[in-house]
């Protein structure tokens, strides 16, 4: 099956308009994209303006060059009059059992460092034992982990994890900018983002290109410091798998390692099962 989505402004664009939008988001000129995709600038210009119909092979080349999300690639193929190419299996589908096992192994291996799995809408789909320990340490509700919560919401909306951050302004700016970039081609995420409070202009623009982000948290015995980074699946052919990523909060100093290890031990003592 293929993932259904509600009609939006993105879906009403022609294939040429979609390609131009994706190229501009990548900050590439027509010449730069044409050279990287192995085509002429003139032909790319004709496709973008609607004077030429792109072949499936050309679309595949351009979209691969732009590293376009699979869900967006399906929309581009549909806009060009072709069938979508990528399936979207439910995460509990038997066919994704190896993926689920790999995710659980990676999460477990991260203990006592917190790690969570989030999807394209920033919904938390799984979390490791250390994440529960961190929530307990900060006085956050553990039922949120059991029931599932949205990482973007808990960072941006009052009363969530964002309120525990020492550098909340920086983290919220990074989260907002990443989500806004993704929402440009994801109507569902755009709707969620529009419902959340804008964090305002930052005093200094965060560097979205950095692979590591320092997350500073107010702990009961002082500040906890984590290096935040993401892991994604390489070259997946399923939309659901492609949308998943693991966020790691790696303790950045010895006191933070010790605080998390002790919190995990207390959690084990409270619930030996």
Percent of the chain with pLDDT over 70: 90
- Residues comprising the chain, all counted: 273
Pair 38, 158 in one domain: no
Pair 72, 103 in one domain: no
Say which residue, 148 or 208, is predicted with more confidence: 148
| Residue 19 domain-assigned (yes or no) | yes
CATH for 241? 3.30.450.180
What is the rounded distance in angstroms from the CA atom of residue 155 to the CA atom of residue 177?
13
| Residue 3 domain-assigned (yes or no) | no
Pair 112, 35 in one domain: no
Strands (DSSP E) found in 88-206: 115-118, 124-127
Pair 229, 176 in one domain: yes
| Residue 228 domain-assigned (yes or no) | yes
Domain boundary among 26, 51, 79: 79
Of 126, 122, 181, the closest CA to residue 152 belongs to 122
pLDDT in tens, 205-251: 555 555 568 999 998 888 999 999 888 877 678 888 888 999 999 99
| Residue 86 domain-assigned (yes or no) | no
Pair 219, 260 in one domain: yes
CATH for 38? 1.10.260.40
Listed range (21-25, 120-124, 185-189, 198-202) with the worst mean pLDDT: 198-202
What is the rounded distance in angstroms from the CA atom of residue 26 to the CA atom of residue 206?
18
Bridge-based pairing state of the strands 213-219 and 124-127: unpaired
pLDDT in tens, 42-86: 999 999 999 999 999 999 999 999 988 888 899 999 999 999 999
Q: What value does the mean pLDDT take over residues 154-158? A: 93
| Residue 209 domain-assigned (yes or no) | yes
| Residue 158 domain-assigned (yes or no) | yes
What is the rounded distance in angstroms from the CA atom of residue 153 to the CA atom of residue 166?
18
The residues pairing with 222 across neighbouring beta strands, listed in sequence order, are 219
Pair 148, 259 in one domain: yes
Pair 28, 111 in one domain: no
| Residue 5 domain-assigned (yes or no) | no
Pair 250, 135 in one domain: yes
pLDDT of residue 235: 64
Q: Both tokens of residue 210?
A: 């950095």
Pair 176, 59 in one domain: no
Pair 166, 252 in one domain: yes
Pair 116, 230 in one domain: yes
Structural domain count of the chain: 2
Residues contacting residue 225 through CB under 8 Å, at least 6 positions apart: 214, 215, 216, 217, 251, 252, 253, 256
Domain boundary among 79, 109, 126: 79
* pLDDT above 60 (res 9): no
Pair 135, 227 in one domain: yes
Domain coverage including residue 60: 15-79
């Amino acid at each position: 099956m293929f993932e259904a989505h509600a009609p939006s402004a993105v879906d009403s664009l022609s294939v040429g308009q979609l390609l131009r939008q994706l190229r501009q988001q990548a900050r590439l000129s027509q010449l730069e994209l044409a050279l990287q995709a192995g085509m002429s600038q003139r032909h790319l210009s004709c496709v973008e303006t609607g004077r030429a119909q792109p072949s499936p092979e050309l679309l595949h080349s351009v979209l691969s060059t732009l590293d376009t999300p699979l869900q967006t690639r399906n929309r581009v193929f549909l806009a060009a009059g072709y069938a979508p190419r990528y399936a979207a299996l439910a995460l509990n589908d038997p066919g994704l059992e190896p993926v689920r096992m790999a995710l659980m192994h990676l999460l477990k291996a991260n203990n006592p460092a917190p790690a969570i799995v989030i999807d394209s809408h920033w919904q938390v789909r799984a979390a490791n034992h250390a994440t529960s320990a961190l929530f307990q340490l900060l006085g956050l509700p553990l039922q949120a982990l059991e029931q599932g919560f949205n990482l973007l919401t808990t960072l941006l909306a009052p009363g969530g994890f964002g309120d525990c951050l020492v550098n909340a302004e920086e983290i919220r700016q990074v989260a907002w900018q990443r989500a806004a970039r993704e929402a440009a081609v994801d109507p569902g995420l755009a709707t969620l983002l529009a419902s959340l409070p804008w964090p305002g202009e930052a005093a200094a623009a965060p560097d979205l290109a950095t692979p590591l982000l320092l997350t500073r948290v107010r702990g009961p015995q002082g500040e906890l410091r984590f290096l935040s980074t993401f892991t994604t699946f390489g070259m997946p052919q399923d939309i659901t798998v492609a949308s998943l990523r693991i966020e790691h909060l790696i303790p950045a100093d010895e006191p933070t390692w010790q605080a998390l290890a002790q919190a995990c031990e207390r959690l084990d003592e409270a619930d030996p099962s």
